[in-house]
Amino acid sequence: MSSQIPRHIGIIMDGNGRWARRHGRPASFGHRAGVRAIKRVLQACEDLGVHALSIYAFSTENWTRPRAEVRALMRLFHETMQREIDEMHRRGVRIVVSGRREELSPRMRERIEDAMARTANNRNGILNVCLNYGGRAEIVDAARNLIRDGVPADEVDEAAISARTYQPDLPDPDLIIRTAGEHRVSNFLLWQGAYAEMLVSDTLWPDFGEDDLKAALAEYASRVRRFGGRPEKEVMAG
């Protein structure tokens, strides 16, 4: 039987724009509130014994948003990383960033590399920030690396691809939560999420907190994961 507490949760943090609109403010106001929600949920994961949290912060498709919004988001990521790194490090959280880093600004890359290097030996949980992340881009990048590594076609298997994903050491997500009520994957963890339990919450991301996470964990604990098999109690005699 699998553990009742997911080891790794992925979150598609959606609804910042709607939350801002409800408050009569621009999207960037919602994104700022979204950062506060990340802090709450990270703390709740630590308290509840969830080892790894992957958060979808910016997709490879989000560059198509209005320039002012993209700029505000990048500024916010940079600022947040700078402001929160000390506390994360003190709490023993390891920070990793997944996505096409070469398309980010040099100063953002520097921040990211610094945060990853400083927290590399931390063992009290992992925060995987998916930034300029796309599940398809990740698979394309893995394929490129297979070719670069000279792997012959008949040696390409799932393990060879998994080893070339952005975070090969992270276990696959057990649970993927999407907030703000939309029932779609939007290019998040396509490879790793093959057997993740999916959960959609109607709460807009800036309003998401410990109680919502607890509700998600209770729902997760009630699910029967099958991984394509047939649970013994369903097997009929004869």
Catalytic positions: 14, 62
Q: Which of 182, 194, 202, 226 is in the footprint of ligand IPE by CB under 6 A?
A: 182
What's the rounded Cα separation, in Å, for the pair 144 and 178? 30
CB of 153 to ligand IPE, least distance (A): 34
Residue 145, contacted partner among ligand IPE, Mg ion, none, CB below 5-8 A by kind: none
Nearest to 206 by CA among 61, 23, 8, 67: 23
State the angle between helix axes of 210-222 and 27-48 in degrees (0 to 180), rounded to the nearest 10.
Answer: 60
Q: Is 14 among the residues that bind Mg ion (CB under 5 A)? A: yes
Residue 125, contacted partner among ligand IPE, Mg ion, none, CB below 5-8 A by kind: none
Binding letters toward ligand IPE, positions 8-47, x by CB under 6 A: ----xxxxxxx--------x--------------------
- Please give the structure tokens belonging to residue 113: 């590399």
- DSSP H or E stretch at residue 199: strand 197-200
3-state secondary structure of 67: helix
Please tell me the number of Cα atoms within 13 Å of 35 on its side-chain side: 17
Residue 103, contacted partner among ligand IPE, Mg ion, none, CB below 5-8 A by kind: none
Binding letters toward ligand IPE, positions 46-85, x by CB under 6 A: ----------xxxx--x----------x------------
Q: Is 184 among the residues that bind ligand IPE (CB under 6 A)? A: yes
Alpha-carbon dihedral sign for residues 3, 179, 136, 29: negative
Q: Give the angle subtended at the CA of 232 by the CAs of 222 and 2, to the nearest 5°.
A: 40
Residues at the interface with ligand IPE (CB under 6 A): 12-18, 27, 56-59, 62, 73, 180, 182, 184, 186
Residues at the interface with Mg ion (CB under 5 A): 14
